[in-house]
Structure 1
Amino acid sequence: MDKTSTWIPLTTLVFVLLLISSASAITDASDGMMFEHFFGYILFMFHALFSVFFDLISRIAMNFLISEYFVYCLGFNVSALQDLYRTLSYPAQLTGWKSKGGDPCEEQWKGISCNGSSIIYIKLNGLDLGGYLGEQLNLMNLKQLDLSSNHIQGEIPSLLPPNATTIDLSCNDFNMSIPYSLNSMIRLRHLNFSHNALTGPIGNVFTSLHNLKQMDLSFNNFTGDLPSSFGNLRNLTGLYLQNNKFTCSVIFFANLPLVDLNIQDNHFSGVIPKNFSHVPNIKIEGNAFEVGTFEYLLQRFGAVIKLCSVVDW
């Protein structure tokens, strides 16, 4: 039985007992004390009833709000998935998915994992999906999104799941650049946009990503200098930027706790930071780093050496 419903007979019982007590007080008391006793019992009765009814109403209201919240979240999640289903052109590979109605958690839509009514994982990698992702993929409770190894094209959505810890859109046909909303994904730990057709300079989209540990932007068409917000990635241990067209210096991640660093085949120049000698796994060849103080690093890693403008570090 619902806990809230048990309070109704209990309230009635309390009311009856209090009336009996009041009647007893009126019968047994002397004439001089009758009104005083009766008035006291009436006050006590209303105080008790008010407390019971207030608690009852509070419980009903809380249960209602919680149920409405879960209904809203489920409806929002279903709507977001149906938008994704539509922009991917209703692929037959997504068994169980519906364009209208349905419950992705109860009905076990392909690639969807839930916690209660909250969608927490979307894993649709390697399904030969085409189409687009649309403008928003704003699933509030989503922790992991894996759409890798498909043929999805167009821009990366301007709004990605804000609480996600893992985003993998690698090996697709995405173009344009990285959305600025990435900077608000403060729980993000693993980001993979590699093997796409992303272009242009990267803006300062890493300022708040202090929890990021692995980032792969390799095999794209990024150009220009690295943004200064690279220096804010204080927990980054793996960085892969190879096969792009990045230019100028790499000093912004010279002090990061990197274990794996690959910046091969770009247009980086200037001196090689001394701290790079402490990176266990590093690949820097195919750039235009300067011969000088850290020539031994270049020899160690087999970099292509070309003279260029000096970057003081």
Structure 2
Amino acid sequence: MSSKRSGMEWKNLNIFFGFLLIYAARISFGLTNPSDVAAINSLYAALGSPLLPGWIASGGDPCAEAWQGVQCNGSDIMSIVLNGANLGGQLGDNLGMFASIKAILEVSCCVLNGVKIWNIDGYFWDFSNNQIGGNIPSNLPVTMQNFFLSANQFSGSIPDSLSSLTMLTDMSLNNNNLSGEIPDAFQSLSGLINLDLSNNKLSGSLPPSMENLSSLTTLNIENNLFNGPIPEKMLSIPSFK
């Protein structure tokens, strides 16, 4: 009887240690792609560590621990949707470290411009209507298609690295404190359809490469400090302010 009980105890001990090893491996290696973990840690710290349940500035496992607003596919963070977070701080310069992310949105509820967020198509980044300042990040995901930073407190110049966003179709940087000249970085952005740079402190003349924006239908540059001639091709844009 004693031998039988000892055998059972040994079996239970093996099961316990097995679960312990699995748990330890989960902690050691984590479920979330390490590049995504580094990117979201950096973003959280840059934003000033806002009150977002589960989020931390170092380490953690966003996918396994279900951080607020984080949606994953396997080990990859695919989207971050934050409702009414009223974000401040800055964006930092590590957004390009996200491996597969398709969307980061800060919205006041579940509908954005009449479109339910789960029906949004393409790579969608929207930090509009917050209190985020600092420079626009120079290291952005090259898969970005829609990029909205309007009505924040961004300052400094528009980065030259904009030229790497060859999939960009819509960009709104209006109502910030951006200054300096628009970079001559539009050579490869022929798919850009809508561009809003209004209500900033941008100066100088419009760069020659903006004539390459063959798909552009809406351009708003009003309420800036521009001078010099407007490239002739741009005068044919259907909606030009």
* TM exceeding 0.5: yes
Q: Secondary structure at the match of 1:229?
A: helix
Listed as ranges, the matches of 1:1-313 within 5 Å are 74-92=33-51, 94-124=52-82, 126-138=84-96, 139-142=98-101, 143-254=123-234, 258-262=237-241
Deviation by residue 1:266-308 (Cα, 9 ceiling, x = unmatched): xxxxxxxxxxxxxxxxxxxxxxxxxxxxxxxxxxxxxxxxxxx
Deviation at 1:83, TM superposition (A): 0.5
Q: Specify the code of the residue in structure 2 equivalent to 1:119.
A: I
Gaps of 5+ in 2: 1-29, 102-122
Q: Specify the code of the residue in structure 1 equivalent to 2:125.
A: L
1: CA distance between counterparts of 2:47 and 2:76? 22
CA distance change for structure 1 residues 87 and 227 in 2, over 3 Å: closer, same or farther?
same
Q: Secondary structure at the match of 1:80?
A: helix
Partner of 2:107: none
Gaps of 5+ in 1: 1-70, 263-313
Deviation by residue 1:75-116 (Cα, 9 ceiling, x = unmatched): 101110100101111100x23322333333344433434444
The higher-RCO structure (CA 8 Å, 6+ apart) is 2
2: CA distance between counterparts of 1:151 and 1:173? 6
2: CA distance between counterparts of 1:208 and 1:122? 28
> Is residue 125–residue 146 contact of structure 1 (8 Å, CA) maintained in 2?
no
2: CA distance between counterparts of 1:125 and 1:248? 42
Q: Specify the code of the residue in structure 1 equivalent to 2:240.
A: L
> Is residue 32–residue 77 contact of structure 2 (8 Å, CA) maintained in 1?
no
Deviates further, 124-133 or 226-235: 124-133
Q: Specify the code of the residue in structure 2 equivalent to 1:137.
A: L
Please say which structure displays the higher CA radius of gyration. Answer: 1
CA distance change for structure 1 residues 158 and 152 in 2, over 3 Å: closer, same or farther?
same
The TM-score normalised by the length of structure 1 is 0.56
Deviation at 1:255, TM superposition (A): 6.4
Deviation by residue 1:16-66 (Cα, 9 ceiling, x = unmatched): xxxxxxxxxxxxxxxxxxxxxxxxxxxxxxxxxxxxxxxxxxxxxxxxxxx
1: CA distance between counterparts of 2:225 and 2:134? 21
Aligned residues: 190
> Is residue 124–residue 148 contact of structure 1 (8 Å, CA) maintained in 2?
no
CA distance change for structure 1 residues 87 and 97 in 2, over 3 Å: closer, same or farther?
same
Q: Secondary structure at the match of 1:79?
A: helix
Q: Specify the code of the residue in structure 2 equivalent to 1:89.
A: G
> Is residue 218–residue 240 contact of structure 1 (8 Å, CA) maintained in 2?
yes
Q: Secondary structure at the match of 1:198?
A: strand
> Is residue 184–residue 207 contact of structure 2 (8 Å, CA) maintained in 1?
yes
1: CA distance between counterparts of 2:134 and 2:50? 17
CA distance change for structure 1 residues 101 and 111 in 2, over 3 Å: closer, same or farther?
same
CA distance change for structure 1 residues 216 and 111 in 2, over 3 Å: closer, same or farther?
farther
Higher normalized strand content (fraction of residues): 2
The TM-score normalised by the length of structure 2 is 0.71
